[in-house]
Structure 1
Amino acid sequence: MKKRIVAVLIASALTGGLLTGCSGQISNDYVTVKKYKGLEVPQVEAQEVTDDQVEQMIQSNLTTVEEITDRAAQNGDWVNIDYTGYIDGEAFDGGSDTGAELQLGSGSFIGATEDYEGFEDQIVGHSKGEEFDITVQFPEGYADPTKSGVVAQFHIVLNGIYQQNTAELTDEWVAEHSEDSDTTEEYREEMRGLLEESNEQDVRTQLESGVQDALLSQSEIKEYPEGAVDAQIQQANEYYSYIAGLYGIELSDYITQYLGTTEENFNASVETAAQQTVQLDEAIKLIAEKERLEPTEEEYEEEIAQYAEDAGTDDVEAFKEQYGEEELRMSVLREEVLGYLVDHCVQVEDSGESE
């Protein structure tokens, strides 16, 4: 692919450093971007929506969940439970959870052995609000060899019992539940359209990922802004510590047990990812400056308010405080520039690199 030659002469200092350009290359104090228009990315095509997918979506929409309060749990019910597992009287890593959702009879949890009933079997017959203890045996050949064949006790709190009900698709149901359709056939076409929109968004997401990879290969970092990489590393460590906490274990244990690596390799990977993130963000800022893509203050506020709404809150100021206004503004800018790069990229077959 031929390179577009762009001669840019800049004679004044701009915010964030001197912006220079030559043969399509732009640069400032932090980063040099060799090329950003016409980035080559792997070709992506939207998946065709099938009739089965349409019907699956309709069935999902027809299904409602009803809380059961007048009887005990039965096979087929969904339950919400808190549980804590013990081996020889000691709580064990990965054996606790709160608000876990489980369909009884699904076989998702520890099954029955010759001597003990299965985890799910022992919830059947209990009612909402009950606390009780069960004993199970991990199967031979369990993924964690230290638990293979081991007997464990679980303390369980049954928070709720739920039953799924599926309505029949009729014109009457459609009229009640859809703003755009009156008949079942119209509703099927409405659902097909939504799935097609989703597939198109998937294409856009893949292209955005492609242009990020291409931009990374077409940029060179000169100097990392002070504290930027450390901030990204801290953010990553806080995230993984939070995930580890959900499993009831320390970060070090999560790294070895669930990520399957050493702390040294984990830290090296986090540092590399942090450096790449900062490099990309600096390249994005530079392109935004060059192409005048910086959103207005009004646009920033509108997008951040939309982020907050998508997160289920109308308190925008609290949302900013929680996630950091600077990071939210960077997310808005990132979307704007990535959209520009996607609009100007070139999709190629069997190629994962930009020239």
Structure 2
Amino acid sequence: MKKKLAAVLTAAALTAGLLAGCSGDLSNEYVTVKQYKGLEVTQAEAQEITDDYVEQVIQSNLSAAMTTEPITDRAAQSGDWVNIDYTGYIDEATFEGGSAEGADLELGSGSFIGATEEYAGFEDQIVGHNTGEEFDITVQFPEDYQDTTKAGVVARFHIVLNEIYSQNVPELTDEWVAENSQDSATVDEYREEVRSQLEESSEQSARSELETGVQQALLEQSEMKKYPDGAVDEQVQQANDYYSMIASMYGIELSDFITGYMQMTEDEFNEQVEKVAKESVQLEEAMKLIAEKENLEPTDEEYEEAIKGYAEEAGMDDVDAFKEQYGEDTLKESALLEAVLDYLVDNCVQVEASESE
């Protein structure tokens, strides 16, 4: 499935001024569509997948498989990783941002305060200590420190060395590939697998840009006469239900989520939700009208194939249960709108960014 109904409707919120012109208006009691063939959209090209990019992703995958091993038979050395608690003091008073528990640090990485003429660096002074030790170090903030109130200031840190350990990133070998890939058995095969995945993702991103573009253009090229009874209210309710669910995950009321997390007033939120709801309904009605004009409604077999794909994406093997959960009418509508979206993309005109602005 290229786009679920939710994605089709959500993108309607991203309006943009594109296009003028007419190829014969379509109209019904709800909406008028001025143009839908040859919609001009900004050109979208798939990102080129270079050898360097493939290797970068492979290294990231290897790093994700990294393991750690405690070091218990010696003191900390440069290059080791340590887990520490630390409390910083300036003039024997703690200061904001100067304390942490369970901080992981690579000694020698230069992540913490470095050496000056008079004082060794933060990391250098941990070297030589053993797991379980508590000790104090004295450092000097650099003169060009971003917090000017601390620039050049001497500070004392109390350190608790919780653990010394190494991080072990596996090498890319046939053995590692066999254990970590379902489709490849050798390093060369794995490189091609990663390349194929990246190319597919790049093509999907470009396709998504086009889909968003044609929806933006179609919104601009359509005009609502009236909204179907209850359609906007239904969209508003769905939005409120969604954000209420998100708020409940944070353990707060919707009103607090709106003002605290979304940084909006409730009136602003309600206005935005209604605006998006109206645009969503407008886009949906315009696409249904185009489907009728161009005979784009999928066959029963195509509907079933699309719904099966939706179920697979949702991780459900039982298609009938999936239909019952989401509603067969809703799923069929999603397949219909997807067919229209494919048609609009196939018939759009891609132009350079400067031409479409």
* TM-score, reference length from structure 1: 0.63
| Structure 2 residue aligned with 1:240 | 243
Can you list the C-alpha shifts for 1:104-147, whole angstroms capped at 9, x where unaligned?
9699xxx96656963546xxxxxxxxxxxxxxxxxxxxxxxxxx
**Which whole-Å CA distance do the structure 2 matches of 1:210 and 1:273 have between them?**
16
Q: Is the 8 A contact 1:58 1:191 kept in 2?
A: yes
Letter of the 2:100 partner, please give it: G
Q: Is the 8 A contact 2:219 2:283 kept in 1?
A: yes
Aligned-partner SS, 1:295: coil
| Residue 121 of structure 2 is aligned to residue 118 of structure 1 | no
- Measured after TM superposition, the shift of residue 66 of structure 1 is 8.4
| Structure 2 residue aligned with 1:330 | 333
Q: Structure 1 residues 265, 210: CA separation in 2 closer, same or farther (over 3 Å shift)?
A: same
Q: Is the 8 A contact 1:244 1:254 kept in 2?
A: yes
| Structure 2 residue aligned with 1:257 | 260
| Residue 284 (structure 1) aligned to one of 263, 283, 287 | 287
Q: Is the 8 A contact 2:243 2:254 kept in 1?
A: yes
| Residue 198 of structure 2 is aligned to residue 195 of structure 1 | yes
Aligned residues: 255
| Structure 1 residue aligned with 2:53 | 53
| Structure 2 residue aligned with 1:40 | 40
- Measured after TM superposition, the shift of residue 322 of structure 1 is 3.3
- Pick which of 179-188 and 204-213 moved more: 179-188
- Pick which of 240-249 and 295-304 moved more: 295-304
| Structure 2 residue aligned with 1:140 | none
**Which whole-Å CA distance do the structure 1 matches of 2:102 and 2:307 have between them?**
43
Q: Structure 1 residues 204, 267: CA separation in 2 closer, same or farther (over 3 Å shift)?
A: same
Q: Which has the higher contact order (CA 8 A, sep 6+)?
A: 2
Q: Structure 1 residues 236, 113: CA separation in 2 closer, same or farther (over 3 Å shift)?
A: farther
Aligned-partner SS, 2:100: coil
- Measured after TM superposition, the shift of residue 182 of structure 1 is 4.8
Q: Is the 8 A contact 2:183 2:193 kept in 1?
A: yes
**Which whole-Å CA distance do the structure 1 matches of 2:198 and 2:343 have between them?**
25
| Residue 201 of structure 2 is aligned to residue 219 of structure 1 | no
Q: Is the 8 A contact 2:232 2:281 kept in 1?
A: yes
**Which whole-Å CA distance do the structure 2 matches of 1:23 and 1:237 have between them?**
38
State the identity %: 63
**Which whole-Å CA distance do the structure 1 matches of 2:266 and 2:203 have between them?**
39
In the TM superposition, what are the counterparts of 1:121-160 in structure 2 within 5 Å?
Answer: none
Can you list the C-alpha shifts for 1:187-246, whole angstroms capped at 9, x where unaligned?
213311220111011000010000000000001111111111100000000111111111
Can you list the C-alpha shifts for 1:301-354, whole angstroms capped at 9, x where unaligned?
222222122112223333334333333222222221111111111111225869
Q: Structure 1 residues 279, 46: CA separation in 2 closer, same or farther (over 3 Å shift)?
A: same
| Structure 2 residue aligned with 1:228 | 231
**Which whole-Å CA distance do the structure 2 matches of 1:180 and 1:27 have between them?**
51
Q: Is the 8 A contact 1:32 1:219 kept in 2?
A: yes
> RMSD across aligned C-alpha pairs, in angstroms?
3.3
**Which whole-Å CA distance do the structure 2 matches of 1:329 and 1:166 have between them?**
48
| Residue 299 of structure 2 is aligned to residue 308 of structure 1 | no
* TM-score, reference length from structure 2: 0.63
- Measured after TM superposition, the shift of residue 27 of structure 1 is 1.3
Q: Is the 8 A contact 1:41 1:351 kept in 2?
A: no
* Unaligned segments of structure 2, at least 5 residues: 1-21, 70-81, 104-165
- Pick which of 171-180 and 260-269 moved more: 171-180
| Residue 347 (structure 2) aligned to one of 337, 344, 348 | 344
Q: Structure 1 residues 66, 24: CA separation in 2 closer, same or farther (over 3 Å shift)?
A: farther
Letter of the 2:26 partner, please give it: I
| Structure 1 residue aligned with 2:296 | 293
Q: Structure 1 residues 186, 283: CA separation in 2 closer, same or farther (over 3 Å shift)?
A: same
Q: Structure 1 residues 64, 34: CA separation in 2 closer, same or farther (over 3 Å shift)?
A: same
Q: Is the 8 A contact 1:303 1:332 kept in 2?
A: yes
**Which whole-Å CA distance do the structure 2 matches of 1:106 and 1:346 have between them?**
58
Q: Is the 8 A contact 1:59 1:166 kept in 2?
A: no
Q: Structure 1 residues 207, 233: CA separation in 2 closer, same or farther (over 3 Å shift)?
A: same
**Which whole-Å CA distance do the structure 2 matches of 1:67 and 1:321 have between them?**
46
**Which whole-Å CA distance do the structure 2 matches of 1:293 and 1:23 have between them?**
19
Question: Which one has a bigger Cα radius of gyration?
Answer: 2
**Which whole-Å CA distance do the structure 1 matches of 2:42 and 2:313 have between them?**
30
Q: Is the 8 A contact 2:68 2:168 kept in 1?
A: no
| Structure 1 residue aligned with 2:274 | 271
